[in-house]
Structure 1
Amino acid sequence: MKSIGAYEAKTHLPELLARVAKGEKITITKYGVPVATLQPADAAKKTPVREIIDQMKRFRSGHHLGGLSVRDMIEEGRR
């Protein structure tokens, strides 16, 4: 795994992303201390859109706003 400084990572991000897309892992350091790792996204972890929508619907059915509307909550947040 290659290591790169934060400033250089910021400067060369498009190139780093291209390397990561090819499967390379890159550690980003700040003052020599590892702070992050760029690595390819795991395609197997992607959840189908239909499943996510179903999860949201199940969550919504179990949670109520106690008679408040979304507009009331927005106005309350502005006070």
Structure 2
Amino acid sequence: MLEEIGSYDAKTKLPEILRRVEAGESFTITNRGKPIADVVPSRATSRQKCKTAISNIKKAKKYEVSDSELKDMMESGRK
């Protein structure tokens, strides 16, 4: 269930609400107890995150690690 927020609180706390929505939360804005609007994270943000992740994976696949580099990385991780 979406967290309900009165329209006055939504107006006065909009920056905080937007930060929370960006973090994945969703809200229903009410006016005198009556649900008026739902504020939910944008699907465009999810698509952009997917595109960025795919791009990073493609970049990582192009980089090859030599055996000596791999051994150095493994050794440094054990400290």
The separation in 2 between residues aligned to 1:44 and 1:12, in whole angstroms, is 22
The separation in 2 between residues aligned to 1:31 and 1:11, in whole angstroms, is 16
Q: What secondary structure sits across from 2:42 in the alignment?
A: coil
Q: What secondary structure sits across from 1:40 in the alignment?
A: coil
Name the structure with the higher helix share.
Answer: 2
TM-score, length of structure 1 as denominator length: 0.54
Structure 2: gaps spanning 5 or more residues: 48-79
- Residue 7 (structure 1) aligns with: 8
Shift of 1:43: 2.1
Structure 1 residues 12 and 42: alpha-carbon distance in aligned structure 2, compared to 1, 3 A threshold:
same
- Residue 22 (structure 1) aligns with: 23
Q: Which has the larger radius of gyration?
A: 2
Instruction: Write the letter of the residue equivalent to 2:18.
Output: L
Matched residue pairs, number?
46
Structure 1 residues 44 and 17: alpha-carbon distance in aligned structure 2, compared to 1, 3 A threshold:
closer
- Residue 38 (structure 1) aligns with: 39
Segments of 4+ moved more than 3 angstroms: none
Structure 1: gaps spanning 5 or more residues: 47-79
The separation in 1 between residues aligned to 2:38 and 2:45, in whole angstroms, is 19
Pairwise CA RMSD = 1.8
